[in-house]
Amino acid sequence: MSGFNPTLNMKERAQVALNDDFLRNAVKFTTEKLRFGKKNASSELGNWEEWRERARAIRLHTIANLDYYLSEFVKNARAKGTHVHFAATAQEAVEITMKIMAAKEAKSVVKSKSMVSEELHINHALEEEGIETIETDLGEYIIQLAGETPSHIIIPAIHKNKQQVADLFSEAGGETLPPDTKVLAGFARAKLREKFLQADVGMTGCNFAIAETGSMVLFSNEGNARMVSTVPKTQITYMGMERIIPSLDDLEVMATMLPRSATGQKLTVYMSAITGPRRTEDADGPEEMHIIIIDNGRSQQLGDPEFQEVLNCIRCGACLNACPVYRHVGGHAYGWVYSGPIGAVLTPRLNQDMEKWGEVAYASSLCGACYEACPVKIPLHDMLVYIRRQKVEQGYTPAAEKMAFKGFKYVMSDYKRFKRSIKLGKFGQKFIAEDGVITSKIGPLKGWNTYRHAPTVANQSFRDSWEALDNDLHREMAGMDPDIMKRMKEILAKRGKTDHE
């Protein structure tokens, strides 16, 4: 299941996305809307930078003391009757899930949106065992029917239009539905309600886990997460091991930052804090509750000075909306669960496979817009540079790129060589330049010139202009006081020597 051809590399996947006009327009339209929403919501709040600092401090402190807060959470969750499991890998998390399913003789599952569950490919594993698995978040339901993966952390079906959704729902319902939002939402609502009532198990993700109370917190806009976590008799929650926050006070800060950064809302429509299974005095809730805490590469980031901060991420998606690369190609070009700048860091780091995934770190202009957008100030652009460096150090650089950089170093490390190469460039460009720009798509020029034109080497370089300026200055100096002129000559001689050394 995917939204892309898994045999393609990152460049080829990006090309597929660039050729899809609808996808580009849809992603652009929605990310613009989300960005403006965030801008308004954050300026309305006031002191946004102070809030960012506060949120960052909470995340830094929690991750620096993750062992302590995790054990506090586990102790308090177990005291409230929750079964807590640990999974070192995605495979282990799947095995734990299957044991619970078998013990409950479960035949059907309803799920609310959970990015960590995408890491496990849990839907596929459940379907293989003959267990019906239904996504109940509207966007997730759409992409499940389409047989795809999410293309945005917050808006999984960002790349689909109403007609495409109507086609998918028509096929699922066996009737022709119009591309009308109300009709389509009504169809999904009716279909999903049946499933909520029949399901043996409800599965959720976890936005935050509160150490001091042992509660897990869910943010949602559709109410489906509440249905998933209250109607079925058994609940399974997947939680990345970094989701912890120390206390309810910290939740106040996160509840302020997450919805504003994600969708520009002051608060999501529903926020549920669930502490253990149903008690006798409760009106609803599951009879049995399991939380599976998943590592899957996260602990590898702990203690790494370049990457530990990536665990601070609260999965708001703001960096995707700000990224000029994501906004052109959408999520499927990145090839795994997470996309955009956070995906470009998490994908190689969580998979610990630089050969396969290192190329994803090049899906960035390193402009730093992701850092500016991030509510917890993760320096993603620095991390992307570190990943590129690791890729080179581990020897996964293409031979042509290695040669190109060797040549660049050879030319740039000697002024005379540099000057000669400029002359050569001026001569060579005569054959490929037109009206002051290079339009040729030969060899390495293809990637750049397919979508824009490269400028030609200037007739007069900056150094030539500088030297001409020096000559003008000398002429002016001819009429000056001899002492001043002598001093200026000394300065110029010294500078000229340094320049040309």
Q: How many CA atoms, within 13 angstroms, populate the side-chain half-sphere of residue 340?
A: 27
Q: Which stretch binds ligand SF4 (CB under 6 A): 11-19, 178-186, 279-287, 375-383?
A: 375-383
**Number of residues in contact with ligand SF4, rule: CB under 6 A?**
15
CA–CA distance, 342 with 390 (Å, rounded to integer): 17
Beta bridge partner(s), residue 219: 271
Beta bridge partner(s), residue 8: none
Residue with tokens 């994600």: 262
| 434: phi then psi, degrees, rounded to nearest 5 | -145, 125
* Alpha carbon 369 to its chain's center: 13
CA–CA distance, 294 with 212 (Å, rounded to integer): 20
Tokens of 55: 């949120």
Let me know: does 215 contact 272? Beta carbons within 8 Å: no
Let me know: does 356 contact 413? Beta carbons within 8 Å: no
Out of 143, 342, 354, 361, the residue judged to bind ligand SF4 by CB under 6 A: 342
Q: Which is nearer to ligand SF4, 201 or 316 (CB)?
A: 316
Q: Does 34 contact ligand SF4 by CB under 6 A?
A: no
Out of 142, 311, 374, 384, the residue judged to bind ligand SF4 by CB under 6 A: 374
Q: Does 313 contact ligand SF4 by CB under 6 A?
A: yes
Q: Does 243 contact ligand SF4 by CB under 6 A?
A: no
CB of 178 to ligand SF4, least distance (A): 35
Q: Does 315 contact ligand SF4 by CB under 6 A?
A: yes
CB of 56 to ligand SF4, least distance (A): 10
Let me know: does 183 contact 177? Beta carbons within 8 Å: yes
Q: Does 245 contact ligand SF4 by CB under 6 A?
A: no
Residue among 138, 316, 110 at smallest CA distance from 227? 110
Question: How many other CB atoms sit within 10 Å of the CB of residue 29?
Answer: 11
Q: Which is nearer to ligand SF4, 110 or 373 (CB)?
A: 373
Q: Which is nearer to ligand SF4, 210 or 313 (CB)?
A: 313
CB of 271 to ligand SF4, least distance (A): 18
CB of 315 to ligand SF4, least distance (A): 5
Out of 101, 120, 354, 373, the residue judged to bind ligand SF4 by CB under 6 A: 373
Q: Which is nearer to ligand SF4, 207 or 261 (CB)?
A: 261
Q: Does 369 contact ligand SF4 by CB under 6 A?
A: no
CB of 187 to ligand SF4, least distance (A): 31
Let me know: does 264 contact 38? Beta carbons within 8 Å: yes
H helices present in 340-444, as ranges = 340-351, 354-357, 369-373, 380-393, 399-412, 415-428
Q: Which is nearer to ligand SF4, 165 or 316 (CB)?
A: 316
Q: Does 316 contact ligand SF4 by CB under 6 A?
A: yes
CB of 375 to ligand SF4, least distance (A): 6
CB of 346 to ligand SF4, least distance (A): 9
H helices present in 135-289, as ranges = 138-146, 162-173, 181-198, 224-230, 248-263
Q: Does 378 contact ligand SF4 by CB under 6 A?
A: yes
Let me know: does 18 contact 330? Beta carbons within 8 Å: no
Q: Does 154 contact ligand SF4 by CB under 6 A?
A: no
Helix-, strand-, coil-residue percentages of the chain, each rounded to 5? 55, 10, 30
> For residue 67, what are the contacts with CB-CB under 8 A and spacing of at least 6?
none
Q: Which stretch binds ligand SF4 (CB under 6 A): 130-138, 314-322, 324-332, 484-492?
A: 314-322
Q: Which stretch binds ligand SF4 (CB under 6 A): 191-199, 311-319, 356-364, 422-430?
A: 311-319
CB of 114 to ligand SF4, least distance (A): 15
- Residues making contact with ligand SF4 (CB under 6 A): 261, 313-319, 342, 373-376, 378, 380
